[in-house]
Each structure stands twice: as C-alpha cells, then as structure tokens.
Amino acid sequence: MIKNEILNDLTLARVVTDLEQDHYNAAFDTPLRPDAFELDDDTKMELIAKHFTAIMETLGMDLEDDSLKDTPKRVAKMYVKEIFSGLNPANKPKPTLFKNPFNYNQMLVERNIAVFSNCEHHFVPIVGKAHVAYISNGQVIGLSKLNRIVQYCSQRPQVQERLTMQIANMLKEALGTEDVAVIIDAHHHCVSSRGIRDAGSTTLTGEYSGQFLNIETKNEFLRYIGS
C-alpha cells in the first residue's frame, strides 16, 4: 500500500514537472497560430503584397510611380525570405558538433554577434549585439552556428526578453548542456524613431543557466565580454 502511494506520488511529481516544463516552453515560444505553415512561401508573398498595396494606397501613395510600383512585392519578399524567415522552423540551423579531444573544459565566449530583429509591437527594427557563452560537456559547436542561432531567433517579430531566452534554449538544445549564458544589448527603433524619440538608450537582457548561475562563473563571463 505504502509502495503504491510512493509510486503515485512519483508519477504525480513527473506530471507536475512536465506541466511546468510545458508552461516554461510556452513562455518563450513566439506566438503563432496552429495553421501558421499551411501556406507556402509564394502564397504568403502574394497575399502580403496585396495587403501592403492596400496600406500604401490608404496612405495616399501613387503606386503608378516607377519608384513605388514594385514596393509591395519587395516588402513581401523581405518579410517572408529575410527579416521574418526565423518564423519558419524549416530554416532552423542544424548544429555541427565536434568531439573535444583536447578536453577544453573552460567557457567559450563569442562576443558582438550582430542582432537584427523587429519589435513585434510596432514592426520597427531592434539592432544590437549578442554575447553568448557555453561550457563544453564533451563536444564543441562550429563557431558560425552560434551566429546562425542568434540570427534565426532574431529573424521574427520579437521582444528582447523572449529573444534572449530563445537563443539560450536553442543553445542548450544544440549543445546538450545547461551551461549557457546569453546577453543582448540592443537599440530599439520603437523608442528612438517614435514615441519618446530617445536615440541614445539601449536595452540589456541576460539569461544564465547551469554553471553560469554561479556568481564567479557569471562574473568571469561578464569580464570577458567587457574586455
């Protein structure tokens, strides 16, 4: 009887843990409808071009003008193929992992990775730098893949807090380790080009896990990116 109660408690604990993990995952997922990928890219570009034509016409723009007539198509292609291409999981970078025969067990830091994203509240640019670090658990990742992970997560409508978490979680997934840190320092055009029009401020966000929750390890990372 006692054994059954213990097993039931363990089962319940696993269910609660799974539910907590699902809730955590949902917190950093980009909000998408279930049918987000039912349309192919060409259809999406065609529809976006039509909608953007309507926006431009509503603003009073003359789409017969040589400079403007192809703008809706250019915007549509840019949205689907470039600045929002990170919405499509088919574009997710595939990590290249290598063995670590030299047993390097210190942190690896890549600084100043370019961040080009767009604010999901006003669809204007977020531009800045990401600094990422990890401690190998036996494998190392191709350096360019760190840049590609940052780029993939950035190329979608974003808020910076979620972007920071998405990069960290993708790194953990790719590397098979919790020992990951990410800092983003970015300039938001929704602050500089509208509203308060403050062109000098930047926003800093950080995500630490595993050994980087240790204050000495975290401070070592901060010294690296500040040097």
* Alpha helix stretches (DSSP H) within 29-159: 41-58, 71-77, 143-154
Q: Tell me, yes or no, if 153 is annotated catalytic.
A: no
Catalytic residue among 119, 151, 158, 166: 119
Catalytic residue among 151, 160, 166, 211: 160
Q: Tell me, yes or no, if 188 is annotated catalytic.
A: yes
Q: Tell me, yes or no, if 131 is annotated catalytic.
A: no
Catalytic residue among 46, 120, 178, 220: 120
DSSP 8-state symbol, 7: H
Q: Tell me, yes or no, if 121 is annotated catalytic.
A: yes
Q: Tell me, yes or no, if 122 is annotated catalytic.
A: yes
Catalytic residue among 122, 161, 187, 220: 122
Give the separation between CA 46 and CA 40, rounded to whole angstroms. Answer: 10
Q: Tell me, yes or no, if 160 is annotated catalytic.
A: yes
Enter the tokens of residue 112.
């100043």
Q: Tell me, yes or no, if 120 is annotated catalytic.
A: yes
List, in order, residues 6 or more apart from 127 with CB less than 8 Å away. Answer: 115, 116, 117, 186, 187, 189
Catalytic residue among 46, 139, 189, 190: 190
Of the candidates 67, 168, 84, 97, the one whose C-alpha atom is nearest the C-alpha of residue 126 is 84
Of the candidates 207, 208, 202, 123, the one whose C-alpha atom is nearest the C-alpha of residue 163 is 207
Catalytic residue among 21, 57, 121, 173: 121
Give the separation between CA 154 and CA 117, rounded to whole angstroms. Answer: 5
Catalytic residue among 166, 188, 207, 211: 188
**What residues are annotated to the active site?**
119-122, 160, 188, 190
